[in-house]
Amino acid sequence: MSKVFFEVLQKEEFEQVVYGYDKFSGLKAIIAIHNTALGPAFGGTRMYPYASEDDAIYDVLRLSKAMTYKNAAGGINFGGGKAIIIGDAKKDKTEDLLRAYGRLIEGLGGRFIGGVDIGTDEDDMVIVHQETNNCTALPEAYGGGGSTSMATAHGVYNGIKAAADEVFGSPSLNGKTVSIQGVGHIGFALAQSLKNEGAKVIVCDVDPTNLKKAQDELNVEVVSPEEIYDQEVDIFAPCAMGAILNDNTIPRLKCKMIAGSANNQLKDEDKHSKMLVERNIVFAVDYILSVGGCINNSHQFIGYNRERAYAQVAGNITTNIRKVLRMSQEKNITTVEAARQLAEQRIQSAINRKSWFLNK
């Protein structure tokens, strides 16, 4: 088992994986640190009742590596990491458990900074913070960046405008038609910004409450979750689940651009990014657009100021999506490959800076 596990760590170049157990609170947590070339590993805390330990370790490794690329491409000085807590957030989350998790982070001496993800929220971080300063996503009243989702939505909207400028020749979304899959925290905020700008918005959701809210408050057009793929639109914004761009859905798409917040939208990065190119559909890479929450949270460590943080969210994402789309054109590579190169260049620059210093 251990030999096999080290092979996995070696192949994907993980630095460290830490298991934490606390008898008193029942905490079972895993923290994976993928890469710290740019700074401390920075990633959310997912609390989920994984069916098996294998499922949990698979998820935390996959997610922590993705954070390395997301933070690097996003232009912040943090590496990639992720934490999972095995358990049902509705039943098993207690103050003792969160504090034990905080002590686990504290024991890593600053190599990992934990934020929120599925199953954890800003209020949980207030409790974690009682044990460690190495946590983020605190409410603004506690010196943190407040709602991670709102910052993410701000970045996605600005990223879509920059991508529209590259693809359609204007950042204006007035008169454009945009379909949104999922009107939860981000999809709703995005729909609101788009409607305010004069776009036509078509939405779907599997949750009737969220759908009704969007319909009542934003006057958007509604289609069924299955019909969302068939809409003739300028932009399709996936803001719900991963792996929704696949062999079955891509041939149905009638959009010119895909730009949304959902993580890992392509089922198979290589194959499905090429399928989109063949259909002249521009893929505005998900993690380039959805890094706003991380950028916003990083401002906690320099003294949080919302105006400055939101300006950096919009600025970095605008610059990076333009870079990715142009690099893809100039080098004749997919946008996914361009985003990967952008992230790897930043990581390599950090490594070069350190070796220059050491070699002096």
Q: Does 290 bind ligand NAD (CB under 6 A)?
A: yes
Q: How far is the CB of 241 from ligand NAD (least distance, A)?
A: 5
Among 49, 110, 139, 184, binds ligand NAD (CB under 6 A): 184
Active site annotation includes 82: yes
Looking at beta carbons only, is 13 or 247 nearer to ligand NAD? Answer: 247
DSSP assigned state of 40:
S
The 3-state secondary structure of 133-181 reads: CCECCCCHHHCCCCCHHHHHHHHHHHHHHHHHHHHHCCCCCCCCEEEEE
Among 18, 26, 126, 185, binds ligand NAD (CB under 6 A): 185
Binding mask 107-136 for ligand NAD (x = CB under 6 A): ------------------------------
Among 79, 80, 81, 187, binds ligand NAD (CB under 6 A): 187
Q: Does 215 bind ligand NAD (CB under 6 A)?
A: no
Size of residue set near ligand NAD by CB under 6 A: 24
Q: Per-residue b/e over 204-223, b at no fewer than 16 CB within 10 Å?
A: bbeeeebbeebeeebebebe
Catalytic residue among 28, 70, 82, 93: 82
Binding mask 239-258 for ligand NAD (x = CB under 6 A): xxx-----------------
Which residues sit opposite 44 in a β-bridge? 115
303 labelled ligand-binding: no
10 Å CB burial of residue 112 (0-12, 13-18, 19+) is buried
Among 172, 215, 263, 341, binds ligand NAD (CB under 6 A): 263
Distance of CA 88 to the CA centre of its chain: 22
Instruction: Give the number of other CB atoms < 10 A from CB of residue 235.
Output: 25
Q: Does 204 bind ligand NAD (CB under 6 A)?
A: yes
Q: Give the CA count within 13 Å in the CB-facing half-sphere of 285.
A: 33
Among 47, 237, 262, 295, binds ligand NAD (CB under 6 A): 262
Among 30, 173, 293, 313, binds ligand NAD (CB under 6 A): 293
Rg (CA), the chain: 20
Q: In terms of Cα–Cα distance, which of 167, 233, 161 is closest to 197?
A: 161
Looking at beta carbons only, is 261 or 334 nearer to ligand NAD? Answer: 261
Indicate the residue whose CB is closest to ligand NAD.
184
Looking at beta carbons only, is 290 or 300 nearer to ligand NAD? Answer: 290
Looking at beta carbons only, is 122 or 131 nearer to ligand NAD? Answer: 122
Q: Where are the beta strands (DSSP E) in the chain?
A: 16-22, 27-35, 41-48, 79-86, 112-116, 177-181, 200-204, 221-222, 235-238, 257-258, 282-283
| Angstrom distance (rounded) from CA 186 to CA 182 | 8
Give the footprint of ligand NAD on this chain (CB under 6 A): 148-149, 152, 181-187, 204-207, 210, 225, 239-241, 261-263, 290, 293
Residues taking part in catalysis: 82
